[in-house]
Amino acid sequence: MPETLLLTGGAGYIGSHTALTLLRRGRDVVVVDDLSNSSAESIRRVNRLSGREAVFYEADVRDRGKLKEIFANHKIDAVIHFAGYKAVGESVAEPLKYYQNNLDTTLALCETMPQFGVNRLIFSSSATVYGTSQNVPLKESEPTGCVNPYGRTKLMNEEILTDYANANKEFAVTILRYFNPVGADPSGEIGEDPRGIPNNLMPYITQVAVGRRPKLYVFGADYPTPDGTGVRDYIHVADLAEGHAAAYERMKPGVNVYNLGSGAGHSVLELVRAYEEANGVEIPYEITGRRPGDVAQSYADPGKANRELNWKTKRTLRDICRDAHNWQTRNPEGYQKS
Ligand code: NAD
Ligand code: UD1
């Protein structure tokens, strides 16, 4: 019998790529997603690409009744908890929405999992928990501190899960702190499909590339970095998906925290140039003021994940740019038009 993983938020950007990786590795996948920020089309495409079938439930993870029904229907071996809201600006404007959803989904899982003997959970955290630290490359031992409600929900989730695992020794938690997930499956069938104006750099670039937006605004060129623009650790979403498979395969008792990043920092302008070169397109841009809350540089020390999970990133910045562009050109309007 294949092992079965429940992916909350599995129709979303990272969840759909992880579902594909797991199905290809012979795992069974159950997805629960309320489609608040995604489309069921992503799961249909994951099924097509893998030649297998993820079971899909359109439901809110906070719905305890529905969650029980799902756990009763399947013998779940572990949960990967992607579900949550992720827009930083919106979290500042509507903090309660973020605290309610991002925390209560975790509480619902902690309440329900033990009733069905499920005691392994992998949580989607973020490099945002390092706050304004500039102590790069960032190690897991770096002090945490957040500067917006979204980031605080990530940190609070880490703390809730740690408290819960301390009180219940059979419960194992792996916390994955993602750096900047970008790119798409090389098929161009699944990818990042933000609603409205993209908040993040890569989807903004891809939309400029296909003419959906006239130019990129570069938020600040006066940072203390080699070219003055912000430096980040861009990680191909397929590498990130493989990081989840590795985290599951090598899960240990207790609470374990891992950075998932490449370990290399690239500036905004470097990414723009890499994108132009990989795809033979021009990305017009204009330098504007800094975005509040941004740090000059953030990149991972992924050594712990390299050693303990036997995982490291394999795809290059060029692969990232090619695959992101391929997804966007094949799906200029995202999943909407399918
Ligand atoms: P996403 O929005 O594409 O995926 C999240 C999914 O969760 C969506 O499909 C949404 O419909 C679903 N969802 C939200 N609330 C739900 C609920 N109550 N019940 C059921 N489903 C619900 O985002 P993503 O980029 O795939 O991110 C996945 C996780 O990783 C999130 O927790 C996010 O905070 C975290 N993360 C993302 C990034 C990033 O840059 N994308 C970086 C660090 C951490
Ligand atoms: C942002 C969030 C972070 C979240 C992460 C993943 C903020 C302040 N931080 O991280 O909490 O975990 O997304 O969702 O929102 N940039 C531009 N022009 C743009 C967009 C971005 O120049 O149109 C620059 C930014 O200033 C930054 C870099 O590109 O230097 C990357 O930005 P982005 O993709 O938004 O990621 P982060 O800011 O690292």
> How far apart, in whole angstroms, are the C-alpha atoms of residue 261 and residue 232?
10
Q: What is the mean pLDDT of residues 225-229?
A: 97
Q: Which pTM was predicted?
A: 0.98
Per-residue pLDDT, 337: 57
Domains and CATH numbers, the chain: 4-183+233-261+300-309 (3.40.50.720)
Q: Give the position of tokens 């798409």.
A: 184
Query: Residue 147: which pLDDT band, with cuts at 50, 70 and 90?
Result: confident
Q: What is the pLDDT of residues 164-184, one digit of tens each?
A: 999 999 999 999 999 999 999
Query: Residue 154: which pLDDT band, with cuts at 50, 70 and 90?
Result: very high
Q: What is the mean pLDDT of residues 38-51?
A: 98
Residue 77 has pLDDT above 60, yes or no: yes
- Kind and range of the H or E run holding 43: helix 41-50
Q: Angle CA(165)–CA(167)–CA(170) in degrees, nearest 5? A: 55
User: What residue ranges line ligand 1, CB within 6 angstroms?
Assistant: 8-9, 11-15, 32-38, 60-62, 82-84, 86, 101, 105, 124, 126, 178, 181
Query: Residue 130: which pLDDT band, with cuts at 50, 70 and 90?
Result: very high
For atom 39 of ligand 1, which residue has the closest CA? 181
Residue 101 has pLDDT above 80, yes or no: yes
Question: What amino acid occupies position 322?
Answer: R
Q: What is the pLDDT of residues 239-276, one digit of tens each?
A: 999 999 999 999 999 999 999 999 999 999 999 999 99
Per-residue pLDDT, 34: 98
For atom 22 of ligand 1, which residue has the closest CA? 83
Residue 338 has pLDDT above 80, yes or no: no
Q: What is the mean pLDDT of residues 108-136?
A: 97
Tokens matching residue 242: 């493989």
Per-residue pLDDT, 119: 98
20-29 burial by CB neighbour count: b if 16+ within 10 A, else e? bbbbeeebbb
Residue 336 has pLDDT above 90, yes or no: no
Q: DSSP per residue over 166-228, as a string?
A: HH-TT-EEEEEEE-EEE---TTSSS----SSS-SSHHHHHHHHHTTSSS-EEEE-S-SSSTTS
Q: Indicate if ligand 2 lies below 6 Å from the C-beta of 203.
A: no
Share of the chain above pLDDT 90, in %: 97
CB 108, CB 115: distance < 8 Å: no
Q: Which residues are catalytic?
A: 150
Please, what is the end-to-end C-alpha distance for the chain in angstroms? Answer: 34
